[in-house]
Amino acid sequence: MTRFTAPIAEQIWDMKYRLKEADGTAIDLTVEDSWRRIARALAEVERSPSDWEGKFYSALEDFKFLPAGRITAGAGTARSVTLFNCFVMGTVPDNMGGIFDMLKEAALTMQQGGGIGYDFSTIRPRGADVKGVAADASGPLSFMDVWDAMCRTIMSAGSRRGAMMATMRCDHPDIEAFITAKEDPARLRNFNLSVLVTDPFMEAVKADGPWELIFDGKIYHTVQARDLWNKIMRATYDYAEPGVIFIDRINAMNNLNYCETIAATNPCGEQPLPPYGACLLGSINLARLVKDPFEGGADLDEDQLDDLVATAVRMMDNVVDASRFPLEAQAQEAQAKRRIGLGVTGLADALLMVGMRYGSEEAARQTERWLQRIARAAYLASVDLAKEKGAFPLFDADQFLASGHMGDMDDDVRASIAKHGVRNALLTSIAPTGTISLYAGNVSSGIEPVFAYSYTRKVLQKDGSRTEEEVVDYAVQMWREKFGDKDLPDYFVNAQTLAPLDHVRMQAAAQKWIDSSISKTINCPEDISFEAFKDVYMEAYETGCKGCTTYRPNDVTGSVLSVSEETEKAPEVDSGADVVYISEPLDRPQALEGNTYKLKWPDSEHAIYITVNDVVINGHRRPFEVFINSKNMEHFAWTVALTRMISAVFRRGGDVSFVVEELKAVFDPRGGAWMQGKYIPSILAAIGGVIERHLVTIGFIEGEGMGLKADPQAEAMAVGERPRGPACPSCGEFGMKMVEGCMTCPSCGHSKCG
């Protein structure tokens, strides 16, 4: 008997969490072995490990408590990895040496797989004086480009993909350039962007008042607050970025506002953190705790919930001591405050099981009750840990209890904290749980609605063939097992049919009892008006949310998969995709049209000649093959290899313009060169520029800097078939979907956020 309720769950475990030798030989033979490995590793921190290993194992068993992926994959492996998910790096100094010290620290953190956040508001704006060198500052965005290149370099070195969040205050003089930075789809690909919005700014927006853009006490510009707000809204309406973080609310509600100031978050926004702040994540699987699902008396087993929360808090507190850290400053910060981020997943499924429509006022009230119960149990468990092991080192009872969040806590919990202290400064957070939700049987992710009741995925078999299998939402599968083919009740709703303000209602209800923040995507229909779209953000602010992230499908962002509620068909997407994916390589015609370009790299004796030949399909030219020639024998091997690889990619079809972006991003550690007034980081980047120029000339891409016209959200389709959704850059399977702000592959679990 397997513990997995769906084939995809076992496949996710095998690919992501199962401990294996370097040659692929499995060490964890079963998922029970994985649970035992994690339980044993976290129990070793205890004075008497044998007293706790069994209880920890019981919490993990049957996917009731789901530690985040880094813990599940790394605990008990003796590998040099961090078990922490989230880092915000140190404050970026406004000087060249300090900036590049921060870059080094970021690289070391990402090398161990940590997602990082940075506030770039501390760097002087573009054009500001740089004393002592008679020059003007290049501004924070230029340094963000350097960070982006570093992230890409770490990825190309074979490490786990890292994700980054960049924030900038709404009063920084370069804020308008920050807002529009990702309108160029080839720029800042490895960053999520969010604007730090202050309460005075929101008041100025509502009053249509002036707003000063300031750095270091100097007023650079004065704009109308509402005009700036509209620019933020227009950018996210069209490009899905930047997000909005209500930073004053975050600091006012922070339990630690007496000893830290927050100016950045981790990549998905659920962890606002101070400089060098680190946090680990884990989720209670509410879908596993419902008694008598779909029956008249269905309800959450709250006694089991209390016990599970207490055990989870202890396990996560132990991770603080069991984990390695990329930087000593991160270790010290974690030990001083012992932050953890316990959240939930499977909320939407649990609501369905008790007969409630996600997004309704009734469901919002139930969500608030459940999360209050979790918060109460978590804080009481942390008080018990403080009695046994001591409060976190920076605990100050009076100041801690005076924070905005603790002011709403139950009186008996406040009294216990005042008397005994608390082990963990912050305890709750709702993280993106896309991959671990699949691992747990495709339960609904985090506090998101059910995305699709079912969809069909193609699975690559060992012999190279592909088979189809249905992936069914956990609650829908339970309904089928109980009632067979009986129609789903009216209260079953999914992300595509839900009104945006219903999303906001659920986020606001959850936020009341979450001391950190929430990763949540508010899906908006493509045809939502701009004014209604802005209302979503204003409602999020007015109802107490700490931030807001939306996703509106369009030609730029790509379409989100949708599914028919009545027929539960495989997911479909809009039929307007203009990219064709050719399932078999094209045969080469006898003759092709093309162009040859001469590239003279400075300090190189011989020029490089690049020939790009095109094929015509349905009256449109597209690249088919590349030849790179040079008399320089040092170039011979890599130019041949590059020729073959690029030509192979071109002949497969699809939106191959990513080749341009990848080439243009290659940095030569020996230095690049200035060509025609632009700095080119390597000879490979120069070749990428030549290919880009050719693709622009034939009309394959729109213009220089638009190298990823449709990637990664482009629809892809086999010739003669209906489009099936964006293709995964990791496994190539169709069906990428937006989950908690991250395009996520349901087949392999790949996510841009890691």
- Give the type of residue at 595: N
Query: For the chain, how many residues are written?
Result: 754
Pairing label, strands 115-119, 86-88? parallel
**407-to-14, 396, 398, 524 alpha-carbon distances in Å:** 45, 15, 11, 34
Please give the helix or strand (H or E) that residue 457 lies within, else none: strand 454-460
The active-site residue out of 86, 151, 170, 268 is 268
Angle formed by the axes of helices 31-43 and 302-322, nearest 10°: 70
- Give the type of residue at 356: M
* Residue 545 annotated among the catalytic residues of the structure: no
Selection from 704, 286, 246, 214 nearest residue 518 by Cα: 246
Rama region for 255: left / alpha / beta (φ>0; ψ in -120 to 50; rest): alpha
**352-to-292, 300, 366, 608 alpha-carbon distances in Å:** 12, 12, 12, 63
Query: Residue 142: CB partners within 8 Å, gap ≥ 6?
Result: 126
Three-point CA angle 451, 378, 336, nearest 5°? 110
* Residue 266 annotated among the catalytic residues of the structure: yes
- Give the type of residue at 360: S
- CB distance 425 to 394 below 8 Å: yes
- CB distance 164 to 92 below 8 Å: no
**What is 509-561 written as a DSSP string?**
HHHTT-SS-B---EE--TT--HHHHHHHHHHHHHTT-SEE-EE--BTTTBPPP
The residues that bridge with 470 in the sheet, in sequence order, are: 456
Rg (CA), the chain: 26
Q: If 0-12 CB within 10 Å is exposed, 13-18 middle and 19+ buried, where does residue 705 land?
A: middle
The active-site residue out of 53, 105, 241, 270 is 270
- CB distance 343 to 283 below 8 Å: yes
* Residue 613 annotated among the catalytic residues of the structure: no
Selection from 211, 121, 114 nearest residue 167 by Cα: 121
For residue 582, the 8-state DSSP code is -
Q: Within 13 Å and on the Cβ side, how many CA atoms surround 265? A: 29
- CB distance 380 to 416 below 8 Å: yes
The active-site residue out of 85, 192, 254, 266 is 266
Active site (catalytic) residues? 266, 268, 270
